[in-house]
Amino acid sequence: MSKKLFVEIVSPEREIWAGEGDMVIAKTVDGEIGVQPGHVPVLAVLAHDAVVRVLGARETGEVVAAAHSGFVSVSGEGRVSILAETAELAEDIDVDRARTALTSASEGGDDIALGRARSRLRAAGEEVA
């Protein structure tokens, strides 16, 4: 049996998801990071428009979440913590509401809100320009 990572995605309000996975891919301010079992400890700053993917999780084989600002923490014991200011699982995203937020942010020139709306749509599997 291969080793698994223990992954948790949390926001200040609640735990969004926790479980095992084979690999975590997350967008940081320095680019995407991929973490597999045996990865060295690291602390990275999560991008404000991040999408986090946990491969090899659940029956579906993947957990996808939009996560905004915060940190990715990897311990030497195979624990990956996504500590986000806000986070939402792909299946919980209201696509129509995210599209409305994207339009409002575009018109208002709010780059942070624009990034968050884009990441929510990408996490939900929608095409975003």
Give tens-digit pLDDT for 27-46: 999 999 999 999 999 999 99
**Confidence band of 97 (pLDDT split at 50, 70, 90):** very high
| Mean pLDDT computed over 42-53 | 95
Domain count within the chain: 2
Looking at the fold, whether 70 and 105 belong to one and the same domain comes out as no
Q: Supply the range of the domain harboring residue 103.
A: 94-124
One domain for residues 86 and 114: no
Do 108 and 48 have their domain in common? no
Give whole-number Cα distances, 27 to 9, 30, 68, 117, 128, in Å. Answer: 14, 8, 10, 15, 16
Q: What is the pTM of this model?
A: 0.89
Within a domain: residue 129? Answer: no
Asked whether the predicted pLDDT for residue 18 surpasses 70, the reply is yes
Lowest mean pLDDT among 6-15, 43-52, 107-116: 107-116
The predicted pLDDT at position 2 comes to 60
